[in-house]
Structure 1
Amino acid sequence: MARAPAGEKRGRKVGIKDISREAQVSISTVSHVLNGTASISPAVRARVLEVAGRLGYLAHRQAKATITALDTILLAVPPDTLPQNNINFVSWTVLSALGRECERRGIRLLPFPLEGSAASAKAIVEAARSGGAQGIILLNVDRRETIDGIAAAGIPAAIINGEDSSMRLDSVTPGNRFAARLATDWLIRQGHRRILHMTWRGRATIRRRADGFADAFAENGLPVEDAVFCHAEGYEPRFGEKAIGEWLKANSGLGDVTAVFCAADNLALGVMRGLQVAGYRIPEDISVMGFDGVAPGEFTSPALTTVHVPLEQMGPAALQLIEQRVTSGIPDRASHRLELGCRLVIRNSVAPGPAAR
């Protein structure tokens, strides 16, 4: 016999009486477990929570709470992230998932492009207040002046893909340093010893990836000079292609570099094109690895090995941080810096290095 849909039983919403009956405990016991108002044995507590989760009561209760906590959020974003194009896959994926989550929860999202005078904290705060927003989400923002002004205004705010070094605003980022170390360590275990890190002089989140790249060499006891750095002008594919071309010319070819680890998939796409134009085969002559896990990497030839970032989870996580701050009732609640775990996606652009052969 099919179970009733989550949150419902025989056409009606599930209540604590249903949980009590199915878990075979009293209504008061269910209430104590759900509200944490009394000490209940671990076995009984686990049984009540299992039933409440299976019947959909917990999900319904959580969804109801989140809908009532937040009504309107101001989304402050750099203008180049709003239109979908072939270079902002990361930001567009984050924004699309955030928009879907807000629609699901009945939250009104007010986009606010950060350009010119509108990039100031004063303009952002005024827009949030005039729009009746309970909180502010900042995408790809870590300018000190902007963060200072928003923190001083006292409006709950969360940064996506950025950092607040003063630890006053909540933030959600990938675990950039740990993930870059994971990726580089994997390349080293594949037999690569001299690896080029293609990056650009970007924000703190990009610098964390460079830190993780260097960490892996230190932890494997490899010479620091084997961690080679090359800085492109930006993250777009054309800058990656230009940078690798200039590096090859300056070094009269690859030398003893056997792999390139790129700080973004966009860079990797350009690096692959530049290497192939120069006559190098991937991965036979040189291995290439990216970071972000955006869709185009699946369709390169060869398919790009990369670090998958949970981009679709970043927006909902930022909403949750704002909601927790709004509902906590703690004026001086410590800021939370949430780093999301990343994972390797192994495809065909990396071959074993000399040490493995």
Structure 2
Amino acid sequence: MTGKLKIRQIAELTGLSPSTVSRVLAGKANVSPQAKEKVFTHARNMGILRDIPASRLLMNTLLICAPPAAFSPHEDLYYYEAIQEITAEVSRFDIHVRKCALTVNDPDIAGFMQALSQSDVDGIIIIGIDDVMLYRLAAESNKPVVMINAKDSEMRLDCVSADHYSIGYSAAHYLFQKGHRPVLLFTDLRRETMMQRLDGFKRACLEHHIAFDEATHLLINKGNGKEQARESIDKYLREHKRETLPSAIVCGSTPIAHATLEALTAMGIRVPEDISLMSMDFAHEMKTATPMNFTSMLLPCRELGTEAVYILQSRLMRATSAKFNLLLQGKIHSGQSVADVKWKRKGLYPQPVGL
């Protein structure tokens, strides 16, 4: 059956004009939600949606739900950049973007439901929200939903996240290979993603035959800001003698890394000669003014937005296919804040037989 015959047949079944059916299947936005639903229903039954190019995103309005700070470039820049990428991706399809600000924990469920129930909302992207009830309501909306940096324990929603477990593992592994013992993880633990990084850090300790001890290997920051981090690291340094300080510190964010560098410098501790520092951030953060070119574990950022849109496209075409979690890898940026001290610690490493 040719394309024109398919359009004519759907028009007869729906009572819509062939031009309206054509606009729906072309992904145009100037079509009512009711018309789109009629066309999609028959197109799915006829197997037509499988033949539509994946480059089309058949939606009127996309709802983006995220913490309030994610919508400001002066607050949560990481999520802000991901949202900018989503907006850029969907702008190619003449799709309207609607935003809904929700707190990370205990979000406004009534506000979410009001935004979700708008008739022109055809898809939802949820960013950085931890709430089981919200996930359940989103899954029951019968609209395609993709989550960023979150995980649905009931496995009903598609998710795309940085592979935080591997990121925590790889950061610690990198420092252990450089000969650093002990290594301190300085991070906040407000979200499940941070706990996953901690689990990866612990796994690296295990593989390098290091018994993880919370008092030795973990410093928890109360938040993600620079001021709180400076208070935490100052207190830590006051309570530890110079000879008991770690060989290297993995900082959970750029603000934490900056605060740590300032605190160490104030005490006359050199980086990386005395203590090495490793940051976790993303490529955009690397462009900001910094007193040091940090060795960093770079997190995927804008890539999250790109992949979320592609997943949404797939879900619109294959509504009943299996849900999945897409994990994006990070990568190491070699800067000037980590020293290679393995040569100083040869006694820690078994010598090859015959040498």
Q: 2:117: which partner in 1?
A: 129
Give the distance between the partners of 1:316 and 1:282, measured in 2 at CA: 36
TM value normalised by structure 2: 0.76
How far 1:100 moved relative to its partner?
Answer: 1.2
Q: Which moved more, 1:262-271 or 1:198-207?
A: 262-271
Q: Per-residue CA shift, 1:64-115, capped at 9, x if unaligned?
A: 5443423321001111111211x52211221121121121232221111125
Give the distance between the partners of 2:285 and 2:328, measured in 1 at CA: 22
Q: Per-residue CA shift, 1:30-80, capped at 9, x if unaligned?
A: xxxxxxxxxxxxxxxxxxxxxxxxxxxxxxx99954434233210011111
Q: Which moved more, 1:183-192 or 1:286-295?
A: 286-295
Q: 1:103: which partner in 2?
A: 91
Give matches, 1:275-314, under 5 Å.
275-297=264-286, 299-314=289-304
Give the distance between the partners of 2:255 and 2:282, measured in 1 at CA: 10
SS where residue 213 of structure 2 aligns?
helix
Q: Is residue 102 of structure 2 the alignment partner of residue 114 of structure 1? A: yes
Contact between 2:168 and 2:200, CA under 8 Å: does it hold in 1? yes
Contact between 1:261 and 1:288, CA under 8 Å: does it hold in 2? yes
Q: 1:101 to 1:283 in 2, by over 3 A?
A: same
Contact between 2:169 and 2:202, CA under 8 Å: does it hold in 1? yes
Give matches, 1:1-357, under 5 Å.
65-85=54-74, 87-114=75-102, 119-130=107-118, 132-225=120-213, 228-253=217-242, 255-297=244-286, 299-330=289-320, 333-353=321-341, 356=344
Q: 1:69 to 1:188 in 2, by over 3 A?
A: same
Q: 1:254 to 1:275 in 2, by over 3 A?
A: farther
Q: 1:356 to 1:322 in 2, by over 3 A?
A: farther
Q: Per-residue CA shift, 1:281-311, capped at 9, x if unaligned?
A: 1111111111122444454232111111221
Give the distance between the partners of 2:145 and 2:107, measured in 1 at CA: 15
Q: 1:297 to 1:111 in 2, by over 3 A?
A: same
Give the distance between the partners of 1:118 and 1:185, measured in 2 at CA: 36
TM value normalised by structure 1: 0.76
Contact between 2:172 and 2:201, CA under 8 Å: does it hold in 1? yes
How far 1:354 moved relative to its partner?
Answer: 5.7
Q: Per-residue CA shift, 1:168-201, capped at 9, x if unaligned?
A: 1111111111121111101001010201100112
SS where residue 195 of structure 2 aligns?
helix
Contact between 1:290 and 1:305, CA under 8 Å: does it hold in 2? yes
How far 1:167 moved relative to its partner?
Answer: 1.6
SS where residue 98 of structure 1 aligns?
helix
Counterpart of 2:150, as a letter, is G
Q: 2:351: which partner in 1?
A: none
Give the distance between the partners of 2:239 and 2:220, measured in 1 at CA: 13
How many pairs align?
A: 294
Give the distance between the partners of 2:109 and 2:313, measured in 1 at CA: 21
What's the % identity of the aligned pairs? 24
Q: Which moved more, 1:181-190 or 1:286-295?
A: 286-295
Counterpart of 1:104, as a letter, is R
Contact between 1:142 and 1:164, CA under 8 Å: does it hold in 2? no
Give the distance between the partners of 1:62 and 1:232, measured in 2 at CA: 51
How far 1:225 moved relative to its partner?
Answer: 3.0
Give the distance between the partners of 1:116 and 1:336, measured in 2 at CA: 22
Gaps of 5+ in 1: 1-60
Counterpart of 1:167, as a letter, is M
Contact between 1:192 and 1:259, CA under 8 Å: does it hold in 2? yes
Counterpart of 1:275, as a letter, is L
Contact between 1:94 and 1:315, CA under 8 Å: does it hold in 2? yes
How far 1:228 moved relative to its partner?
Answer: 0.7
Give the distance between the partners of 2:332 and 2:186, measured in 1 at CA: 18
Give the distance between the partners of 1:146 and 1:329, measured in 2 at CA: 20
CA RMSD of aligned residues (A): 2.5
Give the distance between the partners of 1:73 and 1:214, measured in 2 at CA: 39
Give the distance between the partners of 1:116 and 1:202, measured in 2 at CA: 10
